Structure 1
Amino acid sequence: MARHYGLDWLRIGAFALLILYHVALVYVPWPFHVKTAAPVDWIAIPMMAINAWRLILLFVVSGYASRALIAKRPDVSAFVRSRSARLLIPLAFGMIVVTPIQPWVELSTQHGYLGDFWTFYAHDYFSFSAIAGLPLPTWQHLWFVAYLWLYTMMIAVAAYALRGRSVQRLFDMLFGGIWLWVWPTLWFVLVSAWLFPGGRETHALFGDWVAHASYLPPFLFGFAFAGSKRGFAGVARLWPWAAAAALLSYAAVVAIELAWPVDVIPPYPFGLIFSAARGVQGWSAIIALIGIADRYWNRDAPWRATLTEAVFPFYIIHQTIIVGMEWLLLPLNLPAGLEFAVLVATTIAGCWGFYLIGRRIGWMRPLIGLRAKGPVHPPHGLTLATEER
């Protein structure tokens, strides 16, 4: 499978938005590990433009990439070993070294925990218990890696069971033409409005049915879509219409949010309309973004290879920098705009430092999701949403 540079750029852009989104969580009235002393409620409105599809997109691209990887490794056991090493080693490193400061800041600033960080790390973090309802130890934002590993193993089991037989024709039949837009949209409306209305993801892996219903189908879609010429042709025809549908449904979401903000429950039928509109917005945006990436972004550039490699290290460290930096800024009571700018600048600088140092230290490379040895930027093959090939 030839590299699709457009999906590389789409993945890079999605993770760049993820950093800004997590910085913005410091300010909105939604739960987060650390909250500013100067909240800015209106930031929730632009955040709603992306939170219906940002994670769905990453799982679609990850599924697409898994197809390329497993095609190059017909030995399923080798694929399983490779994926497990590239995902579980950074996950373990992240849980032991990177994420512990996040629950400590949350407990200290929101739940009255009095111990310093080292007391927390030595005596409470590895207690395998819960403090103020927060289970410890925790993978925090690295839940994505755990879910991606699980879904990848499911693909490996299916590949072993099929033993070389393909179901590509079935996918092309079910998702040909407009149906690659219609069926997933109906599924997300069903999940959002009827199966789990008002449901929240737990990121606990087991029993997190809202998340699995939202992310496993897009992962499987991306896997099958990778081998579908008919699918790409359909996206090329449909994406302008999907973009219009995404914008219209987002307008409906904003209108209802403005009328019944934050935790105010909209009366019937506006709550149902809100949930259904988010389902339409989410998948319509996916079709539109893939179409735009295929039409306009499928070309290489000097920085693409570096940014592609840097995404996973950035992902591992970014939220810890945000939470830790905001904890340092809280006593200063800075204006919201200045505080936001400082958070964004220090997060980007810290991510670059983490990546540039880690990539040059041989033993550290696997810990941050990079290959232990070999060329840094291979010429072919799409990468996973959390790794470079």
Structure 2
Amino acid sequence: MTPAPSQRHYGMDWLRIGAFILLIFYHVGYSFTPWGYQTPTRGVVWWAEIPLLGMSAWRLALLFAISGYASAALLNRDKGDTAAFGWSRLKRLGIPLAFGLIVVVPPQPYMGLVNSGYEHGYLYYFVHDAFSFRQIRYEYVPRVMHLWFVIHLLAYTLVLCLGLLVIPARARAALRRGFERIFASPALIPLGIALVFLVRSKVPYGWTDMHDLLQDRAAHLHYGGMFLFGFLLRNSEALRVTIARQWPWAALVAVVAFGWVAYDLWLYPGNTPTPPAWRQPLVFAKSAESFAAVIALFGIADRYWNFNHPWRQTLSEAVFPVYIAHQTIMVLVMYPIRNWGLTALPEFLILCGSVAIGSWLFYLIGREVGPLRPLIGLKRHKTHRMPRPVSP
């Protein structure tokens, strides 16, 4: 990978933008699978699981790894001042998290309650029930919904800051050198896969990915480990060179592993359990897909996407506001279209278009209103405007 530690890696920006775009398609497509969702639409599309399983093993690991990479870049910008970095991240993540939990998320469980026969209007629900910390029909309120990712990311960031403050500089340097010797080598891909497999299969009490900060014991090892991997990658020239050399092999491993996952789905579709004898091979295939896909995408981002463009800064800035708004918009649109008599494809297109347009408007409006900017994850002062179209 080419940039010096002081330079911005545009490829990682494009990778982050693409990852969150895929997340929108993933959440919309989830409604058409038998895995279940709060507000099912037209019904199950038998093949919808296949592309989603092509993303589910690595999408969250990728997002946390990118977040770790960006955190290291921000710490470099703050000249290694851990306190300044921690305070900055606490504001940039904590303020929109509080705004999202109080304002953006409550309509989602409300729509679930309406679907189960809840008779009160939204104002009554918001004042009396939304933050009552109790079970109402089939919904426990309040809910964090998709903002669990921000909670986990903020927790990992604060733990990182604590480690940087507590661990002596000499010990941190030794740990970094040990990390480079182990991972910046031919062992990168097999070792990473093995570690993910151990976390997914051998941690006491089993794999837990409940999107709950207090319950996700094994998931913290996986996602927190990928966050740390991305953090260390940002300033490791040796690891960047290793990824640049090995990413084609990682891409091949990820494709082959996904083939096994898709074959298992073909044999045991929907909620049909995989036989016990085949569960460990399936877990290994998902582990291989998870780590190898992240390495492959890092390498692709560096090889092909490390270029600037007039839209990059705007799209990169829009990612966080779009993420905050997208799932609530999706849930609000799901209900009125369920009884239109449409088939799955029109519903899917309507949901994708509604989420894209609604989330983009959420960003455009919020960025122009000064007091709203910190609430949706933007800097208090505008740094740029949308690029004007360039005539041919």
Same fold judged by TM-score > 0.5?
yes
TM-score by length of 2: 0.92
User: How many correspondences in the alignment?
Assistant: 376
Counterpart residue number, 2:3: none
Cα contact 2:184–2:242 (8 A) shared by 1: yes
Report the equivalent of 1:277: 285
Match of 1:43 among 48, 68, 74: 48
List aligned pairs for 1:295-334, cutoff 5 A.
295-334=303-342
Q: What amino acid is the match of 1:75?
A: D
Q: Are the aligned partners of 2:65 and 2:228 in contact in 1 as well (CA < 8 Å)?
A: yes
Distance 1:175 1:199 in 2: 24
Residue correspondence of structure 1 range 1-389 to structure 2 within 5 A: 1-73=6-78, 74-109=80-115, 111-132=116-137, 134-165=139-170, 166=173, 167-195=175-203, 199-376=207-384
Displacement, 1:187? 1.5
> What is the distance in 1 between the residues matched to 2:65 and 2:21?
17
Alpha-carbon contact 1:21-1:47 (below 8 Å) kept: yes
> Could you say what secondary structure the match of 2:339 adopts?
helix
The one-letter code matched in structure 1 to 2:277 is P
Q: Per-residue CA shift, 1:155-211, capped at 9, x if unaligned?
A: 111111235442321221121222222222112112223337974522221122132
**Cα shift at 1:132:** 4.6
Query: Match for 1:125: what amino acid?
Result: A
Aligned residues of 1:102 and 1:323 also touching (Cα < 8 A): yes
| 2:248 alignment partner AA | P
Q: Which SS does the other structure have where 1:135 is aligned?
A: strand
Corresponding letter in the other structure for 1:270: W
**Is this contact kept in 1: 2:199–2:207, CA < 8 A?**
no
SS at structure 2 position matched to 1:50: helix
Separation in 1, partners of 2:189, 2:138: 40
Does the 8 A contact of 2:206 with 2:218 survive in 1? Answer: no
How far does the alpha carbon of each residue in 1:228-287 deviate from its partner, in whole angstroms, 9 at most, with x for none? 111111111111111111111111111111111122222232122111100001111011
3-state SS of the aligned residue for 2:369?
Answer: coil
The code of the aligned residue for 2:102 comes to I
Rounded Cα–Cα distance in structure 2 between residues aligned with 1:171 and 1:133: 47
* Percent identical: 42
- SS of 1:79's partner is helix
Deviation at 1:316, TM superposition (A): 0.3
1:2-54: CA deviation from partner (whole Å, max 9, x where unpaired): 11111111110000000000111111111322111332131011111111001
| Inter-partner Cα distance in structure 1 for 2:138 and 2:207 | 18
Contact 1:172 1:231 in 2 (8 A): yes
Distance in 1, Cα, partners of 2:152 & 2:131: 22
TM-score using structure 1 length: 0.92
Q: CA deviation at 1:131?
A: 3.0
Q: Secondary structure at the match of 2:359?
A: helix
SS of 1:130's partner is strand
8 A Cα contact 1:91 1:139, kept in partner: no
SS where residue 156 of structure 1 aligns?
helix
Q: 1:90 to 1:198 in 2, by over 3 A?
A: same
Shift of 1:122: 1.9
Corresponding residue SS for 1:373 = coil
Q: Secondary structure of the residue that 2:56 maps to in structure 1?
A: coil
Query: C-alpha distance in 2, partners of 1:369/1:294?
Result: 26
Contact 2:367 2:382 in 1 (8 A): no
The ranges of structure 1 where at least 4 consecutive aligned residues each deviate by more than 6 angstroms after the TM superposition are: none
Q: Which amino acid in the other structure matches residue 14 of structure 1?
A: A
One-letter amino acid matched to 1:323: V
Offset, 1:117: 2.6
**Which residue does the alignment assign to 1:384?**
none
CA distance in 1, matches of 2:27, 2:160: 30
Partner of 1:382: none
The corresponding residue for 2:390 is none
8 Å CA contact 2:35, 2:271 repeated in 1: no
Q: 1:200 to 1:172 in 2, by over 3 A?
A: closer
SS of 1:147's equivalent in the other structure is: helix
Cα drift, residue 147 of structure 1: 0.6
